[in-house]
Amino acid sequence: MSFFYLIICFIAFKLNSIFVHLASGVLGICALHWIFAKDHIINIHLLFFVISYQATNFREYHKLLPLAINIFVMVMFQLSFDAQFYTTIRGSLMIMAMKMSTFQITPLDGIVNAFSYAFSPDHIDTYKRKSNYDVLTPISFCTTSLVYLVMSSCVYPFLSASYNVEYAYVTAQTFRFSHYFVNDLSFALASIAGVKPLTGNSWTLKTEFPRSMKDVSYYWNIGMSHFFKSTIAVFTISSALHGFNFQLTAVLLSMGVYAMVEIKLRKKLASKFDCCCLCKRCNTDCKHTYKTYQVRSLVLNSMFVCLNMYHLMYLGAPFDNSAADTGYSFTHTLHIFGSKFKFGSPIIVAIQYFITLLI
């Protein structure tokens, strides 16, 4: 199945025909059936596609209204199905929702192209960025994705039963590595199809050792970051697409708020101390007296890197696989944040915001 799909994807960039787009969409449906092996799940995705495609007609009233309709339909699905079943199909529905949202704002020509775009298990920017075929890029991304898969699946069981800093950090890192695996595998498949990935393999280091929470926002979901341009919008829309899930919503919105507070604080610190400590690395010809590799800048930037690593550990710790099949409860999330961390992360951000007001 995967082999024939990749052949069709490759041909699709050489031949821009209705047949190829239709075949790509049909193979996408076959891939869904192969993964879930249940016809009614295919019907749910087809129903979502039809509703989302028709919602495109409402963009003349407001360009984000179709996206709101997509989110509403996702919520209705969540309320209609039991938690375990909805968790199973949520990922594929979210990908389709993001693809259709892109289509609704910058529409392709015709329902066949929309059908191919929605059901093709390909990168969200397939129809935007093309490149010559490069055999090394997919090999590189496939290799790193397998490394992340092993790390996310094999490290966690060897942790000690006692809850300590190491346990919390690796638990959070395991959750992030599972995300890296999916992203790099998507990049690999997209590059096989002739699509130029939006980033190289080094993006995970910029998430694991983040200069700023804004970097985490960008590299965590590069496609959505390009689409919305705004840090807070990325996490707000992402949390909405996840439906009524307190843990995911709390984590995603927290990351957005953390990023906004940090941006304001570092902007004021850079002005007050005249050094390169902004969220985004300064150019070599910036107007600051103390450049990136001078002591004052290094101290401030290192401090924020450590704080951001702590925030990632705090926000990722509740994803401990204890309820991955049905979704984590409100009490579970608050128990981890409260009893294990004493709500240290939001307290630190509140202090940062207070300092921002004083400077």
In a domain, 253, yes or no: yes
Within this chain, do residues 225 and 250 fall inside the same structural domain, yes or no?
no
d(CA 149, CA 54): 38
By three-state DSSP, how is residue 290 classified?
strand
Count the Cβ atoms, other than its own, within 10 Å of residue 224.
21
Within this chain, do residues 226 and 330 fall inside the same structural domain, yes or no?
no
In a domain, 125, yes or no: no
The pLDDT assigned to 121 comes to 61
The pLDDT assigned to 126 comes to 41
The pLDDT assigned to 304 comes to 94
The pLDDT assigned to 41 comes to 83
DSSP code at position 274: T
Nearest to 66 by CA among 114, 14, 31, 133: 114
Nearest to 257 by CA among 240, 225, 235, 280: 235
Within this chain, do residues 215 and 311 fall inside the same structural domain, yes or no?
no
Question: What pTM did the predictor assign?
Answer: 0.76
Within this chain, do residues 9 and 90 fall inside the same structural domain, yes or no?
yes
d(CA 241, CA 128): 23
* Exposure string for 197-220, b = 16+ CB within 10 A, e = fewer: bbeebebbeebeebbbbbbbbbbb
Within this chain, do residues 222 and 254 fall inside the same structural domain, yes or no?
no
In a domain, 128, yes or no: no
Q: Which amino acid is at 323?
A: A
At residue 338, what are phi and psi to the nearest 5 degrees? -85, -55
The pLDDT assigned to 42 comes to 84
d(CA 275, CA 290): 4
The pLDDT assigned to 166 comes to 76
Within this chain, do residues 156 and 50 fall inside the same structural domain, yes or no?
no
Exposed (0-12), middle (13-18) or buried (19+): which is 94, by Cβ within 10 Å?
middle
Number of domains making up the chain? 3
Residue 238 vs residues 179, 221, 250: alpha-carbon distances, Å: 14, 9, 11
Within this chain, do residues 227 and 328 fall inside the same structural domain, yes or no?
no
DSSP code at position 336: I
Give rounded-to-5 percent helix, strand, coil for the chain.
70, 0, 25
Within this chain, do residues 16 and 115 fall inside the same structural domain, yes or no?
yes
Q: Which amino acid is at 160?
A: S
Within this chain, do residues 102 and 198 fall inside the same structural domain, yes or no?
no
In a domain, 127, yes or no: no
Within this chain, do residues 112 and 170 fall inside the same structural domain, yes or no?
no
In a domain, 131, yes or no: no
In angstroms, the first-to-last Cα distance of the chain is: 60
The pLDDT assigned to 311 comes to 93
d(CA 187, CA 303): 32
Within this chain, do residues 211 and 256 fall inside the same structural domain, yes or no?
no
In a domain, 124, yes or no: no
The pLDDT assigned to 52 comes to 84
Tens place of pLDDT for every residue, the chain, 359 residues? 555 555 555 555 555 566 767 777 777 787 777 777 777 888 888 888 888 888 887 877 777 788 888 888 888 888 888 878 888 888 788 878 877 777 666 655 677 778 877 787 654 444 444 555 567 778 888 888 888 888 877 766 565 555 677 778 888 888 888 888 888 887 787 777 666 666 666 678 888 889 898 888 777 766 666 666 666 666 777 777 776 677 888 888 888 889 999 999 999 999 899 889 888 888 888 888 888 888 998 999 999 999 999 999 999 888 877 766 666 778 888 888 888 888 899 999 999 999 999 88
Within this chain, do residues 210 and 251 fall inside the same structural domain, yes or no?
no
**Which residues span the domain enclosing 48?**
2-119
The pLDDT assigned to 127 comes to 41
The pLDDT assigned to 123 comes to 44
**Which DSSP helix (H) or strand (E) runs through 332?**
helix 330-335
In a domain, 345, yes or no: yes
Q: How far is C-alpha 333 from the chain's CA centre? A: 20
In a domain, 51, yes or no: yes
DSSP code at position 275: B
Looking at 56, 91, 119, the residue that finishes a domain is 119
**Which DSSP helix (H) or strand (E) runs through 241?**
helix 231-241
Q: Provide the β-strand partners of residue 290.
A: 275
Residues near 42 by beta carbon (within 8 Å), at least 6 away in sequence:
29, 32, 33, 36
Nearest to 105 by CA among 73, 147, 74, 62: 62
Count the Cβ atoms, other than its own, within 10 Å of residue 333.
20
